[in-house]
Structure 1
Amino acid sequence: MDGPLEWIAAIGTMIAAALVAADLGRKVTGWGFVLFCAVSATWVVSGITGDAMPIAAMNAILLAINAYGVWQYLLSPKNKKVMDRLEPVAARIEREVEAEEK
């Protein structure tokens, strides 16, 4: 398991983790989860074709978890409505916290 498929999956996993960890907003985090889904699928294929069933099984479960993240951050109508109402308040609070730190 050291071919181009694994390298693509590994690099994609690192980028997705950075997008989620950066906390740059719901859309960026949601796209991080989309990327996690793509690389999880890649790891499943790599695990099956490379006779590494533990990797394939783990990433099949992670694919489901990451798909739920996509739903929560990008697709859920309820969460979209909540975030639309929270964004102006969150921006004000963020400015207040920044002012306190000065």
Structure 2
Amino acid sequence: MKKMLILLAVGFVSVSFADQKLAQQKGCMACHDMKVKKVGPAFADVAKKYAGKPDAVDYLAGKIKKGGSGVWGSIPMPPQNVSDAEAKQLAKWILDLK
């Protein structure tokens, strides 16, 4: 049982690290930080705002792909060059940061 818990924890860390690496590769970290507001909101703040909302993954994936403005202030987020699958992966990762 202890081995299984360790393997599950390692798997979670690996997935989380891979998702963070994707965010870095796609340039997300230029404007966002994990816990501190930069140009855009902290990912932890985004996770809190959309926690428990059933359409949160699709909504955030759409914002990542198409960009947006006005939700977090006057500075717009431009559309990001990510695939649909990458946008969903990033949205799920962000929502898990709460």
TM-score between the two structures when normalised by the length of structure 2: 0.32
Q: TM-score, normalised by structure 1?
A: 0.31
Structure with more contact order per residue of length (Cα contacts < 8 Å, sep ≥ 6): 2
Question: Which of the two has higher C-alpha Rg?
Answer: 1
Higher normalized helix content (fraction of residues) = 1
